[in-house]
């Protein structure tokens, strides 16, 4: 009868001072100290900040054992509802505004570059690579939409060979992964930008939809009296070596939830107007005349531009916070020198 959970970590030297009789007032410094033995300065710093904030949260709320257990159960349920096609912890991060905050910190945009938005929990890794001009939706109930897009750099030069990941819901406001009967990806694709930086595809007009409310995060929103809706939008993700990874979203102007997105993802620069396809365009692209037309030029920062801006912002922010820091791999750690 072998134990299924064994303990084989190497023993470390017993640290000083003794971890004994810890109190509300001294436990934090002791936990931080024993978490500072790694040679990874960034890990030590992340743990120091994490433990300090978690403990301060408990002290400032006088957190009860009952509330603590409710939190343990909430986190457990959030993990257990996750699957290959559902990511409830990302959803939690989204509705707490953390996802937008982290994107703003890690992917600052030089002037004129396309702003970022949330990845959300519905991106998958199985979207088909489709040739330019393909249809990425098979939903006949949706309103047809033609999307004519380009990718350019901050000097307005077209960028060829950018991998563009695109995903949206069907006309009922559900992603393919929300159907238990899903057999293959739909309403999602990957395209590669052409020599002139262009890519175009046939899709359906996005609709607003509520995020899933049958899990722990949806139930939390209910308790907080928050609505679960996102305004109509389409997700885009851009990747090419040398370019800063761009995760963004285009929102269709005039949506009821434009100013109350449950995941805080809307930026004015990402709200777009739709046109109608005229006769000439209809013939040229093989879509019905009168279909919706989305035109958009995405402007991507280079890795170097973003890194420069991120480093500058980080050092300025740390100084404003009164934290003496240096950057290692473009991320701050305490400067103890």
Work out whether 331 is an interface residue with its own copies (CB under 8 A): yes
d(CA 41, CA 128): 41
- Residues of this chain, 259-278, that bind its own copies according to CB under 8 A: 259-261, 264, 266-268
DSSP 9-54: PPPPPPPSS---S--TTTHHHHHHHHT--SS-HHHHHHHHHHHHHH
Task: Retrieve residue 243's tokens.
Answer: 């370019």
Does 23 sit behind a cis peptide bond, omega within 30 degrees of 0 on the bond before it?
A: no
- Residues of this chain, 31-60, that bind its own copies according to CB under 8 A: 31, 34-35, 37-38, 40, 43, 45-47, 49-51, 53-60
Shortest CB 131 distance to its own copies, Å: 28
Query: What is the chain's Cα-based Rg?
Result: 24
d(CA 333, CA 323): 9
- Residues of this chain, 291-310, that bind its own copies according to CB under 8 A: 310
Site string for its own copies, 60-99 (x = CB under 8 A): xxxxxxxxx---x--xxxxxx-x---xx-xx--x--xxxx
3-state secondary structure of 80: helix
Work out whether 227 is an interface residue with its own copies (CB under 8 A): yes
Work out whether 332 is an interface residue with its own copies (CB under 8 A): yes
Q: Give 1 or 195: the residue with its C-beta nearer to its own copies.
A: 1
Work out whether 337 is an interface residue with its own copies (CB under 8 A): no
Pairing type for strands 209-210 and 229-230 reads antiparallel
Shortest CB 21 distance to its own copies, Å: 5
Stretch binding its own copies (CB under 8 A), from 138-146, 191-199, 256-264, 274-282: 256-264
Work out whether 290 is an interface residue with its own copies (CB under 8 A): no
Work out whether 328 is an interface residue with its own copies (CB under 8 A): no
CA distances from 195 to 80, 128, 152, 240, 244 (A): 45, 21, 11, 14, 19
């Amino acid at each position: 009868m072998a134990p299924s959970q064994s303990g084989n970590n190497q023993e470390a030297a017993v640290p000083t001072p003794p971890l004994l009789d810890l109190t509300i007032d001294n436990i934090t410094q002791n936990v931080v100290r024993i978490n500072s033995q790694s040679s990874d300065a960034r890990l030590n710093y992340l743990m120091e900040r994490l433990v300090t904030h978690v403990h301060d949260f408990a002290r400032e709320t006088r957190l009860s054992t009952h509330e603590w257990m409710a939190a343990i159960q909430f986190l457990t349920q959030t993990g257990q509802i996750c699957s290959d096609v559902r990511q409830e912890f990302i959803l939690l991060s989204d509705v707490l505004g953390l996802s937008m905050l982290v994107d703003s910190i890690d992917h600052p945009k030089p002037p004129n570059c396309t702003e970022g938005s949330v990845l959300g929990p519905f991106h998958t890794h199985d979207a088909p690579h489709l040739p330019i001009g393909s249809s990425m939706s098979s939903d006949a109930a949706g309103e047809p939409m033609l999307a004519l897009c380009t990718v350019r750099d901050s000097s307005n030069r077209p960028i060829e060979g950018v991998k563009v990941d695109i995903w949206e819901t069907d006309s009922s406001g559900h992603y393919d992964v929300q159907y238990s009967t899903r057999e293959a990806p739909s309403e999602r694709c990957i395209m590669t930008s052409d020599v002139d930086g262009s890519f175009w595809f046939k899709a359906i007009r996005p609709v607003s939809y509520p995020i899933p409310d049958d899990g722990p995060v949806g139930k939390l929103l209910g308790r907080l009296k928050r609505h679960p809706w996102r305004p109509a939008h389409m997700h885009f993700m851009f990747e090419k070596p040398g370019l800063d990874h761009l995760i963004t979203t285009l929102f269709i102007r005039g949506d009821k939830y434009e100013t109350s997105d449950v995941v805080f993802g809307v930026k004015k620069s990402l709200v777009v107007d739709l046109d109608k396809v005229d006769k000439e365009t209809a013939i040229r692209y093989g879509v019905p005349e009168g279909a919706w037309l989305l035109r958009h030029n995405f402007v991507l920062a280079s890795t170097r531009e973003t890194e420069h801006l991120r480093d500058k912002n980080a050092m300025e922010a740390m100084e404003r916070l009164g934290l003496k820091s240096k950057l290692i791999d473009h991320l701050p750690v305490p400067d103890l020198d």
